Amino acid sequence: MIYLKKGLFPIMTVILLVLAGCSDEEPAQQVTEPETRETEEPDTVEVVPADRPAAEEPDEKVKEDVSEPLYEMNPNTFSIEPIGEADPQVVLLTIDDAPDKRALDMAKTLKELEASAIFFVNGHFIDTEEKQGVLKEIHEMGFLIGNHTQTHANLKELSEEEQRQEILTVSDTVEEITGERPRFFRAPFGANTEFSKRIAEEDGMLVMNWSYGYDFEKAYMTREKIAEIMVNTELLRNGSNLLMHDREWTADALEEIVLGLREKGYEMVDPLTIKGVSD
């Protein structure tokens, strides 16, 4: 009997080891299940970045819509006319002879009022570093720069070569300063020639005059007088192309003019929305 008990001992030992091995496997299985779930949760979170490109698509559509012209300029009256369903009750603000005295002040006023305008430049006003800096700042504020010739000469009194120089010299200088060529041309005194119009158009500019303007007349050379006539003239109508100049009295009256126009229901048209301007 003693022999049998000794023979059973190794057998019992093997059985105990097997049982111990089985009990060790179950905790391992219980640990792997939580680990699997934890690695799956970040997978579901990472789906979010995949949605981002789709969310950006509407922005691209908005850009495309904005780039479509909303207005066109009447080549006979130079007024601004809506295309399709664009708001017809708008006016275009333009400022000639910049940057002479107060152009930067005028740009700041318009910027604060969120009112668009075109600044028409004379080349002889941007022949110093100081004035070039002023022009660059106006452009960087978001305003379009127009070409108003080099010396403000009457183009009808010049040869074709002189007209070419008057126009293209300004475009070259403006591009050198701002990185962008003018997109509008306005002849001094509204005195265009067939040659000057062709040169301007070949250089990618829209040729324009204006609907009305008064600040160059002696009777309106005060803040009160120019503000009154610009807003209350009988010539004001949908699409009017308003002529103003870089002058002390006009600069002082500019905020009153913009607010007065808005009180009458007019908004300032963005020149970039005019057909033939955007690239």
Identify the band that residue 67 occupies on the pLDDT scale cut at 50, 70 and 90.
low
**50-65: per-residue pLDDT in tens?**
343 343 343 443 334 4
- Domain positions in the chain are 2-66, 70-273
Q: What is the pLDDT of residue 68?
A: 87
How far apart, in whole angstroms, are the C-alpha atoms of residue 243 and residue 96? 7
Q: Model-level pTM? A: 0.77
Identify the band that residue 4 occupies on the pLDDT scale cut at 50, 70 and 90.
very low
Q: What is the pLDDT of residue 60?
A: 42
Residues 6+ apart with CB under 8 A from 197: 207
46, containing H or E segment:
none
Q: Which two tokens stand for residue 195?
A: 């040659």
4-18, 61-75, 158-172: least confident range: 4-18
Residue 120 dihedral angles phi and psi, to the nearest 5°: -90, 125
| pLDDT of 25 higher than 70 | no
Which residues pair with residue 71 across a beta bridge? 82, 274
The SS3 assignment for 243 reads: strand
**202-257: per-residue pLDDT in tens?**
999 999 999 999 999 999 999 999 999 999 999 999 999 999 999 999 999 999 99
23, containing H or E segment:
helix 2-45
- Written as one letter, the residue type at 79 is S
The pLDDT of 164-188, averaged and rounded, is 98
pLDDT, averaged across the chain: 83
Q: Is the peptide bond before 99 cis (omega within 30 degrees of 0)?
A: yes
- Written as one letter, the residue type at 49 is P
The residue behind tokens 């299940």 is 33
Q: What is the pLDDT of residue 278?
A: 74
Residue 147 dihedral angles phi and psi, to the nearest 5°: -100, 125
- Domain 70-273 fold is TIM Barrel (3.20.20)
| pLDDT of 31 higher than 60 | no
More confident site: 247 or 34: 247
How far apart, in whole angstroms, are the C-alpha atoms of residue 111 and residue 4? 108
**107-118: per-residue pLDDT in tens?**
999 999 999 999
Q: Are 170 and 147 in contact (CB under 8 A)?
A: yes
